[in-house]
Homo-oligomer: A and B are copies of this chain.
Amino acid sequence: MPPLPNICPSSIASDQFVTLAHGEGGRAARRLIEERIVPRLKSTVAGELTDAATLPPLAGQPVMTTDSYVVSPIFFPGGDIGKLAVYGTANDLAVSGARPLWASLALILEEGLSMATLEQVLDSIAAAAESTGVQVVTGDTKVVPRGAADGIFVTTTGLGQLLNRAPAGPQSLQSGDRIIASGPIGRHGMAILAAREGLGFDPLPTSDCGSLWPAVKALHDAGCQVRAMRDATRGGAAGVLQEWAAACQRTMAIDEAAIPLAAEVRGACELLGLDPLHLANEGTMLVAASPEEESQVLETLRGAGGCAEATVIGQVVARSSVPVFVRRGRGVEIPLEEPQGMPLPRIC
């Protein structure tokens, strides 16, 4: 069948760059999948990678979540779009009280993307999946013409199994409950901002991109009864606090001096006039727990990987005129606004 003129001028397969031919149903597409994608993900999966994966029966209720990742730049200090996609999806399952088990991987590639970049992202996906116990069981690859996408977009869907003791959720929050940050906040947002804008900070802010599953598992194994957990991604900690305040019809009172911050995030925020509560995180969560559970939750989190700096940053109080306020210097209580849009597109 002769190619039609003016439809796909660059449908010739290439070994170094992704071409439109790699996205269609022919030999080039099959070779891309069989030779470059499947071997890199094989280590994560017990069976074969197929168009539709038949999985072992689940002992408990399934939990499903999905996210598209369009982060720019693709590679940033502390991570890349592949690592972000796997951990982001695993974290959504974990904070919902589910053990992450399986993931699907859908790639949208721009014609002209270098194979080396694709392979680096795939290796990163495989490493993150393995480290957090997730098998990449099925996938899809599309290629769009130059200019119709920006390099690579990754959509991961996660499937997990509900633990036998999932959090009751933010609607169950009571006055007096402690609000705990699992670690320093704002690192991912600041890392992306600095990388994208070429801000010459020294040291460079590094993303917290990582798995929350070890921390959630530790809380579960220790029998901690937390009321709510939420990874503070887009919208930052502020977004989670607004959501919790709306769900329980109480006010979230945050103590600015208690918020854990990396030195470089603190410095950059002061310089740029940004509030770290508004910056995205990709491996840091907020946890709400009763005063009775506080010490066990903190101790358990600090003993779990990656949460050594877990600390109480505020508490739930009776509903006042504002849903969230921050006690700043000299005890002044300032309402925390929900921004219209964030100043930083494409952070994840």
Contacts and interface: CB of A to CB of B under 8 A. Distances in A.
Interface of A: 1-4, 6-8, 11-13, 19-30, 51-58, 60-70, 72, 92-93, 95-96, 98, 102, 104-108, 137-140, 142-145, 147-150, 153, 155, 157-159, 162, 166, 193, 197, 233-236, 239, 272-275, 278, 280, 337-348
Contacts of A236: 25
Contact of A104 (B66, B162, B340, B347): B66
Given A8-B341, A27-B338, A28-B341, A147 B147 contact: yes
A150 B144 contact: yes
A8 B343 contact: yes
A198 B314 CA distance: 61
Contact of A138 (B64, B150, B153, B197): B64
A338 B273 CA distance: 58
B70 A52 contact: no
B61 A56 contact: yes
Contacts of A108: 68, 70, 108, 153, 155
Nearest to A26: B339
Contacts of A155: 66, 68, 106, 108, 155, 157
A147 B342 CA distance: 20
Chain A to chain B: the 9 pairs with minimum beta-carbon distance, closest first: A25-B235, A21-B341, A25-B234, A66-B104, A157-B157, A24-B342, A52-B65, A52-B96, A155-B155
B235 A26 contact: yes
A340 to B, nearest CB: 5
Nearest to A60: B57
A157 to B, nearest CB: 4
6 contacts: A3-B343, A8-B342, A29-B341, A54-B98, A70-B148, A144-B150
